[in-house]
Chain A
Amino acid sequence: MPTDNNSVMVEMREVYKYFGQLKALDNVSLDIHDGEKLVLIGPSGSGKSTLLRSINQLEQIDHGRIVVDGIDISDPDTDINKVREEIGMVFQSFNVFPHKTVLDNVNLAQIVVRKRSKKEASEISRELLNKVGIIEKVDEYPDKLSGGQQQRVAIARALAMKPKIMLFDEPTSALDPEMIGEVLDVMIKLAKEGITMIVVTHEMGFAREVADRVIFMDYGAIIEEGTPEHFFKNPTQERTKLFLNQIL
């Protein structure tokens, strides 16, 4: 269901990004609305992760404009750290902090960046860890946790900043099959709460259930976009059909 009535949360205009000779992003223009759930699909190397990472400037774009929540992040005068506080990110490889307990993982940025007291941060952390279902592991170190549990800690860690946007970069791709469900469940729960979500994934079931809009990318460009229904019933582009045939 398109959400035209909402304000634009992320605006990308004519964005280009090169890795040497390779065009990772090729003239990408895109509006993502407040509260929208956007799923990016495409073959590996199609630029979907690069697109995602350019929204919080983990990748610096070479040309074009990206405006996040009214702030132009391509402007060199923009304090990117301030913008990043509002954008949570979940990585394929979890990237939990191995030298900190689960609680401290979720506390750290709250204390360092948001300047919350330890007590206040811990309360928020416990609430979120409860929500993602690993409250019993608060005092464990990450190496005692399964991949699915680590990823849920990473989600709680990002949520603790109370972000306006959540970016998910193939959050289940590094997980054993039996753990994918527990992470997707958390993401579905989150989607229902109305936060803006941009998800790079190969989980088509998730896209079908959660996405307002699906975007198919190849060779750095947006090939086709539409509702999940449109996508899985009658995609128009040849490349989309080919890709969907391969993974479904």
Chain B
Amino acid sequence: MVEIKDKKKEKKETPRPVIAVGDGAAIPTKEDVGLFTAWRVSFVGAIATVACLVIFSPDPYWRILKFLPDGILVTFQVTVAAIILALIIGLFTGLGRISKNKIINGIASLYVEIVRGIPLLVQLFYIYFALGRIVNVPAMASAIIAMAVCYGAYMGEIFRAGIESVSSGQMEAARSLGMTSSQAMRHVILPQAIKTILPPIGNEFVALLKDSSLVSILAVSDLLRRGREFAAESFNYFETYTMVALVYLIITLFLSKLISIMEDRVGANRQ
């Protein structure tokens, strides 16, 4: 039933270190037949369930589904903005963590330790209310900042591991040609690290999308918040949250598929 296309994978690849981080939906790869099947079953199943519910019981399911898209859009906005910001923070944190400069290294390590030790929900509250005392930041902006600060720390560790996975001879070769360490990083190390970094970043992307549901407590009208609003008005709690859960599931499965396709592309183009 599942055809495995492995003609591309046949050629011997030097084993690349795998970074095992992330709590998002697993990215389906063609090698992992079980997971690949599970992806299909759950994706098709979720869509079929939504379709059935809407067709056979349009009230309230169709009304719920019509109510949610605004929230989906907000969820995406928060996720995409936060991930871009987190990537930037993560790159500098990762570089800081491998820096030989003790102060820079100390700051980066401290940031990672502190952020990883505080629950995201607490961070969200903290940044929202702490920032709120100094400047009036819109809820949306503080939600994005909080998510980025939190995920930046995880990204930093991914960048660090990715950079360290490139053999030290590459750096030596670049430096021996007279490149500064930042030139070597930019032209030689980072382009090679990308391949190792991309899969766990994909995972983080999916994880961040799920965690973005936490911002609903900051008066940001994301998918979950829209669901809560609908449920509070209609008292259809069970039906609403069923729908919300299914929509999240479809989005994350879709995203993880997209990421696995992207990984294949990158893998095919570069050695």
The finding on whether chains A and B are genuine partners in a shared complex, rather than unrelated, reads: yes
Binding site for B on A (CB under 8 A): 56, 58, 81-82, 84-85, 87-89, 91, 93, 95-99, 108-109, 112-114, 141-143, 154, 157-158, 161
When distances are taken between beta carbons in the complex, the residues of chain A under 8 Å from B188 are: 97, 108
When distances are taken between beta carbons in the complex, the residues of chain B under 8 Å from A85 are: 177-178
Which interface residue of A97, A99, A114, A157 has the most chain B CB atoms within 10 A? A99
For the complex formed, measure the closest distance between the CB of B267 and the CB atoms of chain A, giving whole angstroms: 12
Closest A-B pairs by Cβ, 5 of them = A85-B178, A95-B173, A109-B177, A89-B176, A95-B169
Which interface residue of A81, A89, A95 has the most chain B CB atoms within 10 A? A95
Question: With A112-B183, A113-B183 given, is the CB distance from A95 to B170 under 8 Å?
Answer: yes
Interface contacts beyond A81-B180, A88-B176: sample of 9 additional A-B pairs, CB < 8 Å, sorted by A: A58-B176, A82-B178, A95-B173, A108-B177, A108-B188, A113-B177, A113-B179, A158-B176, A161-B177
* 17 intermolecular pairs with C-beta atoms under 8 Å apart: A58-B172, A58-B175, A81-B178, A84-B175, A89-B173, A97-B173, A98-B192, A108-B187, A109-B177, A109-B178, A109-B179, A112-B179, A112-B183, A112-B187, A113-B177, A142-B271, A157-B177
A56–B176 contact, CB under 8 A?
A: yes
For the complex formed, measure the closest distance between the CB of A11 and the CB atoms of chain B, giving whole angstroms: 20
Q: How far, in whole Å, are A108 and B173 apart by their CA atoms in the complex?
A: 12
A97–B170 contact, CB under 8 A?
A: yes
What total of chain B residues lie within 8 Å of the partner, measured CB to CB? Answer: 19
Q: Mark B81-98, 1 if CB is under 8 A from A, else 0.
A: 000000000000000000
For the complex formed, measure the closest distance between the CB of B112 and the CB atoms of chain A, giving whole angstroms: 28
When distances are taken between beta carbons in the complex, the residues of chain A under 8 Å from B175 are: 58, 81, 84
For the complex formed, measure the closest distance between the CB of A171 and the CB atoms of chain B, giving whole angstroms: 13
When distances are taken between beta carbons in the complex, the residues of chain B under 8 Å from A154 are: 173
Q: How far, in whole Å, are A140 and B173 apart by their CA atoms in the complex?
A: 20
A84–B173 contact, CB under 8 A?
A: no
For the complex formed, measure the closest distance between the CB of B157 and the CB atoms of chain A, giving whole angstroms: 23
For the complex formed, measure the closest distance between the CB of A50 and the CB atoms of chain B, giving whole angstroms: 13
Chain A, Cβ-Cβ closest to B14: A143
When distances are taken between beta carbons in the complex, the residues of chain B under 8 Å from A96 are: 173
When distances are taken between beta carbons in the complex, the residues of chain A under 8 Å from B192 are: 97-99
Q: Mark B52-85, 1 if CB is under 8 A from A, else 0.
A: 0000000000000000000000000000000000
For the complex formed, measure the closest distance between the CB of B242 and the CB atoms of chain A, giving whole angstroms: 47
For the complex formed, measure the closest distance between the CB of A52 and the CB atoms of chain B, giving whole angstroms: 11
For the complex formed, measure the closest distance between the CB of A161 and the CB atoms of chain B, giving whole angstroms: 6
B270 within 8 A of A: yes
A-B pairs under 8 A by CB, number: 66
For the complex formed, measure the closest distance between the CB of B27 and the CB atoms of chain A, giving whole angstroms: 22
B191 within 8 A of A: yes
Chain B, Cβ-Cβ closest to A160: B177
For the complex formed, measure the closest distance between the CB of A30 and the CB atoms of chain B, giving whole angstroms: 20
For the complex formed, measure the closest distance between the CB of B62 and the CB atoms of chain A, giving whole angstroms: 51
Chain A, Cβ-Cβ closest to B11: A143
Chain B, Cβ-Cβ closest to A110: B177
B169–A91 contact, CB under 8 A?
A: yes
When distances are taken between beta carbons in the complex, the residues of chain A under 8 Å from B169 are: 91, 93, 95
When distances are taken between beta carbons in the complex, the residues of chain A under 8 Å from B172 are: 58, 91, 95
B177–A99 contact, CB under 8 A?
A: no
When distances are taken between beta carbons in the complex, the residues of chain B under 8 Å from A142 are: 271
A98–B179 contact, CB under 8 A?
A: no
Q: How far, in whole Å, are A157 and B177 apart by their CA atoms in the complex?
A: 8
Q: Which of B227-271 contact A (CB under 8 A)?
A: 270-271
Q: Which of B170, B178, B187, B191 contacts A84 (CB 8 A)?
A: B178
Q: How far, in whole Å, are A180 and B183 apart by their CA atoms in the complex?
A: 32
Chain B, Cβ-Cβ closest to A105: B173
Chain B, Cβ-Cβ closest to A104: B187
A87–B271 contact, CB under 8 A?
A: no
Q: Which of B178-233 contact A (CB under 8 A)?
A: 178-180, 183, 187-188, 191-192
Q: How far, in whole Å, are A87 and B173 apart by their CA atoms in the complex?
A: 12
Q: Which of A82, A87, A108 contacts B176 (CB 8 A)?
A: A87
Q: How far, in whole Å, are A56 and B172 apart by their CA atoms in the complex?
A: 10
B179–A81 contact, CB under 8 A?
A: yes
Q: Which of A98, A141, A143, A158 contacts B177 (CB 8 A)?
A: A158
Q: How far, in whole Å, are A158 and B173 apart by their CA atoms in the complex?
A: 9
For the complex formed, measure the closest distance between the CB of B81 and the CB atoms of chain A, giving whole angstroms: 30
